[in-house]
Structure formats: structure tokens, C-alpha cells
Amino acid sequence: MTSSRLANGGLINRSKRLRFTFDGRAYEGVEGDTIASALLANGVRILGRSFKYHRPRGVWGAWVDEPNAIFSVKTTKASLPNVLGTTTPLEDGMDVHAVNAWPSAERDIKGGLDLFHRWLGAGFYYKTFIWPDWHLFEPMIRKMAGLGHVDPALIEGYVSNQTHDHCDLLVIGGGAAGLIAAQTAAEAGQSVWLVDDHPELGGGLYRRGQMVEGLQPSVWVAERIKAILRAGGRILTRTTVFGAFDHGAYGLIEEHGFGKAPTLHRLRAARTILATGAIDRPVTFANNDLPGIHSLEAGLDYLGRYGVLVGSRVAIAANHTLSREAADRLASAGADIVVLIPPGSVVAEGKKSVLALSQDVRRAPSIRCLPLPAGRPCCICGNMRAASSTGTNSLAPSCPERHPRPWQPSERPTARSISTQPWTRPARWRSEALSSRGRGRSR
């Protein structure tokens, strides 16, 4: 499942190329990229290591929900540790390094610790190294588990400005709901502040990729922005509301780019509307921390905002109805889709990155097929879809809506692809695998 940049789509400027390095290797991104999206566009999958056992880590999310893409970044202006790659805009000349990995994230010498995972249970060091004296081992363990290195040099001119202001209405979140709320209040004569932490407003509209009131999302958003500003409203992007305090006081941090001090806004609002949306929660299964496993919303965000397809063969495991829409969206971008539907245990296969997903259909005696674009195989039995006379997708007559799926030895996924027919490991293998890959290895 190799990620790649598409020829069109996204909110990026493909005509302006940005050069940067990651762990000593040179890459190119474009204007509008974040560090994480640029690395994904170049097919880089291992972006870091777990802080304690140095297991390989890749991108999970596309914004502040990302736990793995943490880097040390240097430019001619500044050097900062623990920079979140999904929220930091890419700049020309950036020197990016993975934290807690040497000599690189892909070939971390301490990654060999994972070979001893059977003997390195959660918190093992509290018991193993208590004799003769814990303090003899503590410095070494803390050094291995630390993230990033602080540069003692001062950043020239790094001083935050502070402002004090007030408004009738504070709208937190610049998606469709926040834009409509801010426009309506501003046109009614109220003083309105609309804040969003992204560089551009629109929220999940780009992720969905659907027309809004007959307009493209970017056009619709631009019209809402003009209406808010025309009515006297104020819009702050790259701004995070970090705290709500007594008497309607709020703390806002407005970012100005890498190595530049943010602005602190102290704002008092008579009323507040939260339009922050929601984030995807992970499906829990064995090895769900392997590189190549993303949240469903992240895969759509990278496609809609940065024109990056997270993989050519994509398996979707979800327990909500948006998986149908996501499958259609990714398939229209050129991905080969396999849909795995919980309940039933899902196991990720692979060591340094995910190679296949298998589902235990013995716990799910029947699985419902999801409709995908015409001409694509059924996610369970492989029968082809057929387009009906009305133009809608439907199952081929030979493929029932529900059916059991016994395991066949010949259907085990290869190390190079994700099988379109889910493989079920025997019960004995399953119990051994889950016991050896369970608690204590994810750190």
C-alpha cells in the first residue's frame, strides 16, 4: 500500500516546489503541504519509532489527532524539537529528523528491542532493574525513552504579542456549520469572531468532496468568507482556542509559521458556539499501530486537502455508515478497495509496515457486502458488481447479500498485497498470535 501524489486535486499549489530533507535523504513537496503530507506523497511510510520499545510508526491522523509524526526540525531561522508533522506547514530548506531513532527511523538500531518482546512486558523494568539499585539503570532508560533534543541557542526575535478584545459571539470551528453560524450572526449586526486551527476554512467539506449548494467546496467557502467580512465579522485561521475561563474569557493562540512566536489573544465573548466537528476513533485490533494504518478520515483528508492517495490497495475496517462513502471516494481516486466489516477480530499482518489484514469470520458467521462501484469485486466472495439499468450499483445475481465464508489455505494473503478475500487464521494460530502481540508491545 504505497502512498503517492495525484496529478490533480487538493488545496495545494503544484507549481511551487519545496525541497527538504528527512533523516538525511532529499525530497520534494509543494506549497500547501504539511511535513507529513509531503512525506506520504514521496512514499515514506516509517516516520518514527515508539518512545520505549522503538517499534516502527507511521502516520495515523491528518491533524492534531496524530500521535506518531513527531520530528526535530531545523531551518536557517530556528531549530525546534517535537514538532507535529501533520500541523506544521512545509517550508523550503527544512531539515527534518525523526525523534528517538538512530541513524534513521527506517533503520533504527534500537529497533532490535522488539525481537525480545516476549520478555519485555509492560513495566518489566520496574522489577528487572530493581536490584542492585534502580538509580544505576534509570539514566540509561530515560535516555532511551526521551523524545527530541532542545537547542540551547535562542531564536532571534521570538517574542509573543498579546491582545485583549471582546465580541458578541465566538464561533470555534470553521467548517460548514461554523461558517453558516458566523455569517448569520454577523449579518444580524453582532460582532463575530470565527476561529479555526487550519490554514484554510472549510473543515470536513474537502474530505467529503461533495458539491455544496451546487458549488465546489472551495468556491462555497470563499463566498461565506466574503459575506462574513462584508458584515463586519473577524476571521482568524491557524488559531487554537486553548482554554475557557470565568466570565466568558477565552485564550486563543494564533500561529504565524515555523520558528515564529505565536500571538496570544485574550478574548471575552458574550456567547460561544462550538462547531469543532469530531475526530475518528481507532478500531482496536492486533498490530493496529503498524505503519500504513490510517484513520478513515485521515485518508480522506490527505486526498481532499493535499491530493495524496494513501495507498493503491486499501482495506477499510469501520463500524459506521461513512465507510461506504469513503470507499467510493478512494475508489474514484484510483485505489483498489477491500472492505472488512467488524464484528470479528481483525489482525494486521507485517513487521515494519502493514502487509495484509485478515478477519476472523468464525466470530462473524455472516458478513454484509458493501456496494462499491460497478466492475469491482465483492469484498467477501469476489463476485463482480454489475451496474443496473438505472445506473446505480447492485450486487451480481450470483452474489447474495449475506453468506458464510469458510477459511481456505490457498487464500492466505501474500507479503506483497492485500487479498480481496479475507483470510482467517485457525483458532490455534489466532490465540497464539494475540497472546504474543497483545499488551505491552505497543509502547
Distance in angstroms (rounded) separating the CA atoms of residues 410 and 381: 14
Residues 225, 130, single domain; the answer is no
Residues 78, 136, single domain; the answer is yes
Closest listed residue to residue 138, CA positions, set 123, 154, 125, 119: 125
DSSP-assigned letter for residue 110: G
Segments in the chain below pLDDT 50? 361-374, 376-442
Residues 329, 390, single domain; the answer is yes
Distance in angstroms (rounded) separating the CA atoms of residues 69 and 82: 9
Residues 138, 166, single domain; the answer is no
Residue 286 within a domain = no
Question: Sign (positive/negative) of CA torsion 352, 355, 361, 367?
Answer: positive
CB 274 within 8 A of CB 172: yes
Residue 297 within a domain = no
**CATH code of 167's domain:** 3.50.50.60
For residue 393, the model assigns a pLDDT of 35
Residues 124, 251, single domain; the answer is no
Last residue of a domain, one of 95, 118, 145: 145
Residue 298 within a domain = no
Residue 440 within a domain = no
Residue range(s) defining the domain that contains residue 234: 162-274
Distance in angstroms (rounded) separating the CA atoms of residues 324 and 86: 26
For residue 401, the model assigns a pLDDT of 39
Residues 20, 86, single domain; the answer is yes
For residue 73, the model assigns a pLDDT of 96
**CATH code of 134's domain:** 3.10.20.440
Residue 264 within a domain = yes
Residues 141, 166, single domain; the answer is no
Residues 414, 350, single domain; the answer is yes
pLDDT more than 70, % of the chain: 79
Residue burial 80-105, b: 16+ Cβ < 10 Å; e: rest: bbebbbbbbbbbeebbbbbbbbeebb
Residue 222 within a domain = yes
pLDDT tens per residue, range 26-54 = 999 999 999 999 999 999 999 999 887 88
Last residue of a domain, one of 245, 274, 303: 274
Q: Pairing relation of β-strands 79-84 and 70-74?
A: antiparallel
Residues 11, 141, single domain; the answer is yes
Closest listed residue to residue 289, CA positions, set 437, 429, 433: 437
pLDDT tens per residue, range 293-341 = 999 999 999 999 999 999 998 988 887 778 888 999 999 999 998 877 6
Residues 354, 233, single domain; the answer is no
CB 47 within 8 A of CB 69: yes
Closest listed residue to residue 79, CA positions, set 59, 91, 60, 94: 94
Residues 56, 84, single domain; the answer is yes
Region of 348 on the Ramachandran plot (φ > 0 left; ψ -120 to 50 alpha; else beta): beta
Residue 151 within a domain = no
**What integer best gives the mean pLDDT of the chain?**
80
Give the number of domains in the chain. 3
Residues 333, 203, single domain; the answer is no
Residue 294 within a domain = no
